[in-house]
């Protein structure tokens, strides 16, 4: 009896890194999957050097042994599915809108027509934000560098670029205002305000503590889940509304356009937090502990900025109201994330 020859194994496709999958991965997945070299298979340490070397011990301590763990970090997906090409196209369109707004108002000479109160408001609460946002940018870059999956690394990298974009736009507006109002202190007083003004000190304290939060999970929680959502509400949403009320449409439009980056950061950060809890329910307690710790710092920072905003609007807003509004924005961002009962209620009423 003739034996049937064994069938030759089918050649593996280029996307076999995803395992035995029947559906072709998306462009986003192909461009993102397994791109973090420090997470390569069969590694004994993050880097190809003595496992007890300082860099390897750093990654072992602050990433691999982080209290925030998951069964499969590569199961995470950015809800916006951003690749480098998609991000560049997205931000090219966004910057075209910003450039259009800036050019239109520059041609109209809008800065020279601003009331002195609006200039003081921008000089105390808008132009100094390049220091805060640069700190945020550094923390976000660290999160991406230390992240346990290239899917998270890429999302954080694009978010880092968002903060750089924001710093750049704030610096551009700083120079425009400095030219229009050379005696206002704009362009020269921001560092002193950042380092010494009572209204800025809680925010400076918060970002400086975040810069030395070495555990990648705590750094992610501190910035993406707590500090940024809280302070963006003050410095983009509320400041923009006050500016609009003062007739400063340019500042309102600019803060509204920059807020799109914040909303995208909130989406991917929330999705990541939900993944960690879905894969390992014990992570809820880990996140709860960190969020509680950083929420107090965030609330203090919002209140400090609120006091500054109140002093510059002649009592039109109250510091307590500013802080409460920012806290509510953060709590909406974190809604049902930490309270299992909220999940059950949502499921029952959904």
Chain segment 301-333, per-residue pLDDT in tens = 999 999 999 999 988 899 999 999 999 999 999
Looking at residue 21, its pLDDT comes to 60
- Residue of 14, 72, 119 lying closest to 272 (CA atoms): 72
Looking at residue 340, its pLDDT comes to 60
pLDDT above 80 for 76 = yes
Phi-psi category of residue 9: left, alpha or beta, with phi > 0 → left and psi -120 to 50 → alpha: beta
Q: Is 16 helix (H, G, I), strand (E, B) or coil?
A: helix
Question: Which residues neighbour 126 within 8 Å (Cβ) at sequence distance 6 or greater?
Answer: 170, 173, 235, 239, 251
* CB 136, CB 230: distance < 8 Å: no
| pLDDT grade for 346, boundaries at 50, 70 and 90 | very low
Q: State the average pLDDT over residues 274-300.
A: 97
Report how far apart, in Å, the C-alpha atoms of 96 and of each of 90, 160, 262 are: 10, 20, 18
Output the average pLDDT for the chain.
Answer: 93
Looking at residue 54, its pLDDT comes to 98
Q: What would you report as the CA-atom Rg of the chain, rounded to the nearest whole angstrom?
A: 23
Looking at residue 23, its pLDDT comes to 72
Could you tell me the two tokens for 279?
A: 């894969």
Looking at residue 342, its pLDDT comes to 45
User: Could you give the angle at which helices 283-312 and 116-125 cross, rounded to 10 degrees?
Assistant: 150
What's the distance, CA 26 to chain centroid? 25
pLDDT above 60 for 144 = yes
pLDDT digits (tens, 9 = 90+) for 92-111: 999 999 999 999 999 999 99
pLDDT above 70 for 68 = yes
The values of phi and psi at residue 173, to 5°, are -65, -35
Looking at residue 338, its pLDDT comes to 73
Taking the CB of residue 285, how many other CB atoms lie within 10 A of it? Answer: 12
Looking at residue 146, its pLDDT comes to 98
Q: State the average pLDDT over residues 81-85.
A: 97
Q: Is 72 helix (H, G, I), strand (E, B) or coil?
A: coil
Cα separation, 144 vs 154, whole angstroms: 7
Q: Is 348 helix (H, G, I), strand (E, B) or coil?
A: helix
pLDDT digits (tens, 9 = 90+) for 167-196: 999 999 999 999 999 999 999 999 999 999
Taking the CB of residue 183, how many other CB atoms lie within 10 A of it? Answer: 7
pLDDT above 70 for 163 = yes
Q: Transcribe 192-243 into DSSP letters.
A: HHHHH-TTTHHHHHHHHHHHT--SHHHHHIIIIIIIHHHHHIIIIIIHHHHH
Cα separation, 219 vs 182, whole angstroms: 39
pLDDT above 80 for 90 = yes
Looking at residue 92, its pLDDT comes to 98
Cα separation, 157 vs 27, whole angstroms: 18
Lowest mean pLDDT among 18-32, 93-107, 205-219: 18-32
Q: State the average pLDDT over residues 13-36.
A: 77
pLDDT above 80 for 339 = no
Q: Give the domain ranges of the chain.
A: 83-336
* CB 140, CB 223: distance < 8 Å: yes
Task: Please give the model's pTM, rounded to 2 decimal places.
Answer: 0.91
Could you tell me the two tokens for 137?
A: 């940018």
CATH topology of domain 83-336: Ribonucleotide Reductase, subunit A (1.10.620)
């Amino acid at each position: 009896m003739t034996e049937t020859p064994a069938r030759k194994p089918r050649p593996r496709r280029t996307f076999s890194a995803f395992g035995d999958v029947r559906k072709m991965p998306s462009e986003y997945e192909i461009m993102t999957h397994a791109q973090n070299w420090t997470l390569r298979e069969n590694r004994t340490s993050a880097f190809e050097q003595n496992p007890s070397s300082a860099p390897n011990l750093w990654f072992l301590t602050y990433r691999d042994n982080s209290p925030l763990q998951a069964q499969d970090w590569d199961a995470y997906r950015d809800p916006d599915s951003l690749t480098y090409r998609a991000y560049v196209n997205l931000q090219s369109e966004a910057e075209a809108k910003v450039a259009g707004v800036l050019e239109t108002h520059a041609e109209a000479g809008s800065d020279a027509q601003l009331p002195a109160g609006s200039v003081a408001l921008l000089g105390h609460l808008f132009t100094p934000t390049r220091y805060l946002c640069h700190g945020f940018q550094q923390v976000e870059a660290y999160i991406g560098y230390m992240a346990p999956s290239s899917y998270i690394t890429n999302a954080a990298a694009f978010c880092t670029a968002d903060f750089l974009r924001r710093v750049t736009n704030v610096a551009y507006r700083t120079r425009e205002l400095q030219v229009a109002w050379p005696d206002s202190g704009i362009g020269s007083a921001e560092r002193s305000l950042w380092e010494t003004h009572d209204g800025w000190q809680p925010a400076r304290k918060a970002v400086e503590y975040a810069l030395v939060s070495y555990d990648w999970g705590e750094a992610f929680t501190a910035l993406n889940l707590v500090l940024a959502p809280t302070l963006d509400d003050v410095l983009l949403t509320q400041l923009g509304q006050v500016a609009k009320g003062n007739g400063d449409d340019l500042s309102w439009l600019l803060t509204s356009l920059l807020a799109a980056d914040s909303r995208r950061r909130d989406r991917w950060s929330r999705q990541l937090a939900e993944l960690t809890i879905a894969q390992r329910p014990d992570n809820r307690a880990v996140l709860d502990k960190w969020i509680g710790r950083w929420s107090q710092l965030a609330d203090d920072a919002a209140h400090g900025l609120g006091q500054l905003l109140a002093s510059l609007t002649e009592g039109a807003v109250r510091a307590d109201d500013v802080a409460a509004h920012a806290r509510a924005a953060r709590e909406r961002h974190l809604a049902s994330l930490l309270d299992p009962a909220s999940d059950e209620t949502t499921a029952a009423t959904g």
